[in-house]
Amino acid sequence: MCAAPPSFLALPWQQLTKFTGEVYTVRECLESLRAMPNLTECAFGVSSLEDDTEVFSHPNIQHFNVLGCSHLAAGAASADILGHVTLPALRTLKIKDVVDFNHWTLDLFLLRSAAPLRKLVICPYEVVGNEFTEVILSDTFFTLRLTELEIWDPSNLFLPLLFDSIAQDANALPRLRNLSFRGCDFGTSGMTVGAVIDEAALPVTQRRHLAGCAQLQSFHLVAGRRDVALDTVFSEARLLPFKKLKESGMDIYIGTENSSVI
């Protein structure tokens, strides 16, 4: 639904298990959650910030998408809803195409919800200047039982710290099996594809063989947000660690949306 909260329509809201609302204020999002106690899948495109709104807990939502701009809702592009909900049953969280992603808000949401989260996707709308994606590497984050993590446009400060932790500590994201980075073709404070290749080779190999945690099954590194050619020819020496991982049975993909160099 677009710009029409549940109070506008007479429907059996309590029976719904899936819902998408675009161009909603935070208050309209919370109104929707209250009206639909049986929701298990929900997506919102939030169009305004409301600092004084209370925090609402929904016990049944397992899959939650925070949407950004679409052809129907060009103004909906805020992640502010995460500061106003608690979702203790959450298994999948996707934050996509928002302009105000805040790692502090995410960390507090994760701490507050204490959910059995299995999949986390973070994809801001655009990176501008030095605003590349970072996640607070706190105990709250590292103790998540994630099996799948996908991050777009990671910063060159965040990514080495993440790799260092998961390579040496079996308790850091102990169930992680699938790791993906996308949009890595920027410069400045972001990680280029070549930089991620150099940074990831050793820690990904170490994590693959680390005892006491789930075995890493896949590593994907995809350049850009569109079908663009890689601007670097990677030598055999740089790609060799990943080729060995692929030969061992690991799912390795390094390239564009349409082709991999591995």
What sign for the dihedral angle of Cα 56, 62, 68, 72? Answer: negative
Choose one of 70, 90, 125: the last residue of a domain.
Answer: 125
List CB contacts of 183: < 8 A, sequence separation 6 or more: 123, 127, 152, 153, 222, 223, 224, 225
Q: Is 111 in the same domain as 206?
A: no
Residue 200 placed within a domain? yes
Residue 135 placed within a domain? no
Q: Is 109 in the same domain as 60?
A: yes
pLDDT digits (tens), the chain, 262 positions: 555 555 656 577 899 999 998 878 888 899 999 999 999 999 998 876 666 678 999 999 999 999 875 544 455 567 889 999 999 999 999 998 887 778 888 999 999 999 999 999 998 765 544 455 667 788 999 999 999 999 988 887 888 899 999 999 999 999 999 999 988 764 444 567 888 999 999 999 999 999 999 999 999 999 875 545 554 567 888 999 999 999 999 999 998 888 888 8
Residue 139 placed within a domain? no
- For the chain, the domain total comes to 2
Q: Is 245 in the same domain as 203?
A: yes
Q: Is 117 in the same domain as 6?
A: yes
Q: Which two structure tokens, joined as six digits, stand for 74?
A: 């060009």
Q: Is 121 in the same domain as 166?
A: no
Q: Is 168 in the same domain as 260?
A: yes
- Containing structural domain, residue 230: 152-262
Model pTM? 0.88
Residue 42 placed within a domain? yes
